[in-house]
Each structure stands twice: as structure tokens, then as C-alpha cells.
Amino acid sequence: MKGKSFIAENREIAFKRYCENGGNIEGTIRALKKDGLNLSKPTFYDWLKKYNFEERRLKVDMERQKARDSQISFEAKMLNDLVRQKEKYEAYFEQNPVLDNQATYAYTGIIKTIIDVKKKLAVSDVMKKAETDKAMTKEELLKMLKEDVYGLAQV
């Protein structure tokens, strides 16, 4: 961090670790000690108040969530466009009985992309459920992924 003082640099490192630990102060102080920054609790609490760590962390979390939501909505829009394009190709194939290799190749590419996007959207849905349900175990998460994303049902 060129141009910043050593203390300001340490403060930003502390804020970064605070965000990574989800606002957990004990975890943040442990992580800072692993980084070689021995920071006392009173000093950290002073920085927390003086430099609005919690407010900044919430703002960062909101921006990350907004970016994830816009990415998901972009993928959903893309999926709708791909489905429309697929329907156009299907109508084309019904009207033209002669096999068109280039159209067939494009159609299969669209189908593969639709499958990939649907799988990605299903994974993001499962991960959202896991984030909201903090009590979910790893086994439950894996089961949801197998069933919802990959279509593998338990027998």
C-alpha cells in the first residue's frame, strides 16, 4: 500500500480480516496474530468504533450480494434468450426437412449451453438456501446438490 502509513496499512489489514471472519472479533484477532500483527482487543475495539468497521463491513456485504444478484439475473435472462433461440431452431427444423449441418451444430451448442446455465443457476439456488439455513449440515448440502443440480436421487 504505497503512500499509506504503517498504522493505516495495519488498520486496513485488520478490516479485511474482520470482513473475512464475518464480524467475529475473536476470529479476527486470531487471524491477525497469524499474520504477525499482535493487536490488543482494546486497540481493535477502538479501531472498530473510530473507523466504522461494522458499517463498512455491512456495506461491503451488500455490494457483494448485489453483484451476485445481478449475475444471477443476467444468467436467468441469458437462459430465456437461449430457450427462445432453441425454439426458433426447432421451428426451422420442422419447416425444412433437409438436414442442415451448420444449423444442427448451432442447435446442439445452444442445448449444451442451456444445460450448463441451468446447472449453474441450480447450484446458486442451493447455495442461497445453504446461506439462509445456517443449521444445514454438509451432508444435507451435498444431498441437495446431488438431487437438485445433478438429478441423482437416493434409492
pLDDT tens readout for residues 130-143: 777 777 787 887 78
Which domain does 26 fall in, by range?
6-51
Taking residue 57's Cβ as centre, other Cβ atoms within 10 Å add up to 18
What total number of domains does the chain contain? Answer: 2
Question: What is the model's pLDDT at position 6?
Answer: 72
pTM > 0.75: yes or no: no
How far is Cα 55 from Cα 47, in angstroms, rounded to an integer? 12
Let me know whether 94 and 141 are in one domain: yes
How confident is the model over 92-145, as pLDDT tens digits?
Answer: 989 888 888 999 999 999 999 998 888 888 887 777 777 777 777 878 877 877
Let me know whether 136 and 108 are in one domain: yes
